Chains A and B, each alone.
Chain A
Amino acid sequence: MKKRLMFVAALALTGTLFAGNTLAEEWTREFEGESLTFLDVAPNDVRTSYYEELFEKFYEDTGIEVEYQSVPWDDAADKITVLGASGNLPDILTTWSGWLGQFTESEWVVPLSDYIGDSIDEYTDVITDCYWKSEKTRYGDIYTVPDGWMVKGIYVRKDWCEELGIELDPTQDWTWDDYFDLVEKLTDAEKGRYGATYRGARGGFDIILTYMQGFTEGATFDQDGKILINSEECQEAFKKWTDMYLNGYAPEDSINWGFAEMVDNFKGGLTGTLINDSEVAATLIDAMEDDQWMVMPFPVSAKDGICYNTMGAPYAYSMSSFCENKDAAWLLLQYMTTAENQADYCVLTGQIPIKKEASDLDYYSEDGYYGAFLHQMNQENVAIPATYGPFDYTDLHQGLLHEEVQSYLLGDESAEDALNNICTALQERMDEYLAENPDTEIETALFVSK
């Protein structure tokens, strides 16, 4: 954390970038004496101390007290569901995009379009043209303000590649087949080195879906609501992906790995590549030497040459429908996302700012740590693929999706059966949803730079 803290400290000391803005900013004290509650779903030392300091500043500027609450990520979905069902949600909560179907169906969060209003111009293009556009398509309105932006990339052990004479250029496109070759080359089980950090537990099907979407133009369903990922090409893709595990290019234990194990084992030197969000860069900057790792952009589809990257907001702020003072809550939301606060937050948590002014920082230049991520945001062949669907799939994500893949990996069923079971479950959800919401616009891939 030292390197990132030093940068934030330097920002604070010089104060050059946002000084004018900060001095000019005057916050209304209309809601003085009010109190709000805020729920963080991914607490850690960095985030918690950041929020607590921010809320102290907010109190000084507006007179509104904010109570910081948190719940560990693994329990967050359960906790929010219980809070929502009992009508006790906090005023502002951090959410994850996968939960939004459930939240909007249950009417636990309120639309934010009217609150955002003209300030929409302050946000980067990717937020307005992709993130919010996608949210409007799926849920009919904007329900969240992202806390930052994350782009997926492939972290690679640079030192291993140098040892093996492998040259990688992060400014050039590469295909998934190139990636599979790299994984194979980096594997040396005798030395305790594996090419892939395979995710077998919860969330393990997400990346398989993205890879398969390279054969469906980034879609999950066609315009009639019929699932597309059960085609022969997708079945082949499914097998190809899972072959990384079956061929021994990933540790056997990884059938049960989730996010924490993935990052730990890449950091610890067991695995040579790691597919994950830019968020992980913040951890690696602190934990590894600069000459040990690098980031490659997401590979492009061999079929259409498009790089489908599930970039998005890791977490986002939403306002609870149970909030009694929504104007005060919006004020807090605005405060949290000023360019200045955004910059501090993003540097500390490894994200890319959502405000134009903050994203101009040198820290986010293309030759910095985030170069490969930003490079992808500026390419014309990069698109955000569709999600699983507009319906509530929390339970599938927590169980069936990865369990079916695990069953295949253990030899209990064929790849075709595993994928068919997944597709059947998703199709049933979609049919049910479309029956209730016949005017739903089916999601397609969204191009980032068009």
Chain B
Amino acid sequence: MSLATKRKLQPYLYIAPIMILLLLMFGYPLIKSIVMSFQDYKLTKLNKIHWNNFKNYKNMISDKNFWLLVKNSLVYVITSVIGQFLLGLGLALALNKRFRGRGVYQSIVFLPWAFSSFVVGLLFRWSFNGEYGVINDLLKKMGVIEKGISWLGTPGYSLAVIIFAMIWIGIPFFAINILAALQSVPAEIYEAADVDGCGTFRKFFSLTLPFIKPTIIMTILLRTIWIFNSFDLVVIITEGGPANYSQTLPSYMYSQAFSSYDFGMAGALGVLLMVVLSVYAVIFLKVTNYDKAGDF
């Protein structure tokens, strides 16, 4: 083998181990789940696996809960992302200013990000318990309610509790990223803006926001995908109840796989989620002009 050929091959050899690992860890399960989505694949009937064409997809669409799950998923993702973004942005702007005890305060408010979803789920599950929960107790003492609310047993409220939990856990992620972006904005441009007589709002919308836009776009994109795919809080706080009113597509996929052991149906739901999120990512990046973000 000539030296030139060796040099050409060198980079491929360097990345070969990780590529093989990725193919094994991601490629194979991905392909396998796509294959399973076209099969009657029940873990309890492994000797009766067979192709069933689009039956899983037909069953998925005709499932009486399907549109409820779609609605729940959209409400869950949109409100969680908006809530996390707005509160995370506010927190980052507050922490961008120097004040006494900032380090301690910063450590405390970033704590939720370090908690496991399991712990957060249990925390919210008990806090919102209809009989013994601290939330009802506080609301009663404040005179907001007279009778305890069955947060986890009422349609609408049960999903709201999961959304609160998701917002609470995700604020630090937005705050950390936006704060890092804010700290990279050069002070000179603000000085120039001051000389030109720009007000606070003008400076924020014309200077700060465009400067941190790439970070915001990427953070929103990542969080949307993560939140859309996450099912742990749903499973821990309500298990999708009552009557699927707090169930989302990923948590339903989880229950299909690990409660019904129907990996065919779970595969179909997985493929649907993958397609939806891929399309979302492409459209989102296009609409937000990500490639032009940060240009002045």
Contacts of A81 in B (CB 8 A): 43-44, 261
Using a CB-CB cutoff of 8 Å, which residues 197-225 of chain A contact chain B? 200-202
Asked whether A105 and B153 contact (CB < 8 A) given A201-B241, A256-B241, the answer is no
**SS class of chain B's interface: helix, strand, loop or mixed?**
loop
Contacts of B150 in A (CB 8 A): 251-253, 255
How does the 8 Å CB contact mask read for A298-322 relative to B, with 1 for contact and 0 for none?
Answer: 0000000000000000000000000
**SS class of chain A's interface: helix, strand, loop or mixed?**
helix
Judging by beta carbons under 8 Å apart, are B242 and A255 in contact? yes
Judging by beta carbons under 8 Å apart, are A399 and B242 in contact? no
Stretch in contact with the other chain, from A14-22, A38-46, A403-411? A403-411
Using a CB-CB cutoff of 8 Å, which residues 145-162 of chain B contact chain A? 150, 152-155, 158
Contacts of B44 in A (CB 8 A): 81, 85, 102, 105-106, 392, 394
Instruction: Report if B248 contacts A (CB, 8 A).
Output: no
Instruction: Report if A283 contacts B (CB, 8 A).
Output: no
Using a CB-CB cutoff of 8 Å, which residues 123-162 of chain B contact chain A? 129-132, 150, 152-155, 158
Asked whether A394 and B130 contact (CB < 8 A) given A254-B153, A256-B153, the answer is no
* Other-chain residue from A251, A253, A403 in contact with B244 (beta carbon distance below 8 A): A403
Contacts of B242 in A (CB 8 A): 200, 255-256, 406, 409-410
How does the 8 Å CB contact mask read for A251-282 relative to B, with 1 for contact and 0 for none?
Answer: 11111100000000100101000000000000
Q: How far is the CA of A399 from the CA of B252 in the complex (A)?
A: 10
A199 to chain B, nearest CB (A): 12
Judging by beta carbons under 8 Å apart, are A412 and B259 in contact? no
How does the 8 Å CB contact mask read for B111-133 relative to A, with 1 for contact and 0 for none?
Answer: 00000000000000000011110
When C-beta atoms are compared, the residue in chain A nearest to B252 turns out to be: A399
Using a CB-CB cutoff of 8 Å, which residues 385-412 of chain A contact chain B? 392, 394-395, 398-399, 403, 406-407, 409-410, 412
Asked whether A255 and B255 contact (CB < 8 A) given A81-B44, A106-B44, A398-B260, the answer is no
When C-beta atoms are compared, the residue in chain A nearest to B150 turns out to be: A252
* Other-chain residue from B129, B132, B243 in contact with A412 (beta carbon distance below 8 A): B243
* Other-chain residue from A78, A102, A252 in contact with B154 (beta carbon distance below 8 A): A252
Instruction: Report if A116 contacts B (CB, 8 A).
Output: no
Using a CB-CB cutoff of 8 Å, which residues 233-259 of chain B contact chain A? 238-239, 241-245, 255, 258-259
Q: How far is the CA of A363 from the CA of B239 in the complex (A)?
A: 40
Asked whether A398 and B243 contact (CB < 8 A) given A81-B44, A252-B130, A410-B155, the answer is no
B266 to chain A, nearest CB (A): 12
When C-beta atoms are compared, the residue in chain B nearest to A395 turns out to be: B260
Judging by beta carbons under 8 Å apart, are A256 and B152 in contact? yes
A: number of interface residues (CB 8 Å): 32
Contacts of B45 in A (CB 8 A): 105-106
* Chain B CB within 10 Å, residue with most, of A77, A106, A192, A399: A399
Instruction: Report if B262 contacts A (CB, 8 A).
Output: yes
A248 to chain B, nearest CB (A): 11
Instruction: Report if A5 contacts B (CB, 8 A).
Output: no
Judging by beta carbons under 8 Å apart, are A399 and B255 in contact? yes
How does the 8 Å CB contact mask read for B196-223 relative to A, with 1 for contact and 0 for none?
Answer: 0000000000000000000000000000
Instruction: Report if B195 contacts A (CB, 8 A).
Output: no
When C-beta atoms are compared, the residue in chain B nearest to A397 turns out to be: B259
Q: How far is the CA of A179 from the CA of B242 in the complex (A)?
A: 26
Q: How far is the CA of A82 from the CA of B259 in the complex (A)?
A: 11
Instruction: Report if B46 contacts A (CB, 8 A).
Output: yes
When C-beta atoms are compared, the residue in chain B nearest to A400 turns out to be: B260
Judging by beta carbons under 8 Å apart, are A399 and B130 in contact? no
Judging by beta carbons under 8 Å apart, are A394 and B131 in contact? no
Contacts of A412 in B (CB 8 A): 243
* Other-chain residue from A78, A201, A252 in contact with B239 (beta carbon distance below 8 A): A201
When C-beta atoms are compared, the residue in chain B nearest to A271 turns out to be: B131
A85 to chain B, nearest CB (A): 5
B256 to chain A, nearest CB (A): 9
Judging by beta carbons under 8 Å apart, are A82 and B241 in contact? no
Q: How far is the CA of A287 from the CA of B244 in the complex (A)?
A: 34
Could you name 8 residue pairs across A and B whose Cβ atoms are closer than 8 Å? Answer: A78-B258, A105-B45, A106-B46, A200-B241, A254-B153, A398-B255, A406-B243, A410-B242
Q: Which residues of B contact A (CB under 8 A)?
A: 43-46, 129-132, 150, 152-155, 158, 238-239, 241-245, 255, 258-262
Q: Which 10 pairs across A and B sit closest by C-beta, in order of nearness?
A: A253-B130, A395-B260, A252-B150, A406-B243, A398-B259, A255-B153, A407-B243, A406-B242, A78-B258, A253-B153
A102-B44, A395-B261, A407-B243 are known contacts; what are 11 more A-B pairs with Cβ within 8 Å?
A: A82-B43, A202-B239, A252-B153, A253-B129, A253-B153, A256-B158, A270-B131, A394-B259, A394-B260, A395-B262, A412-B243
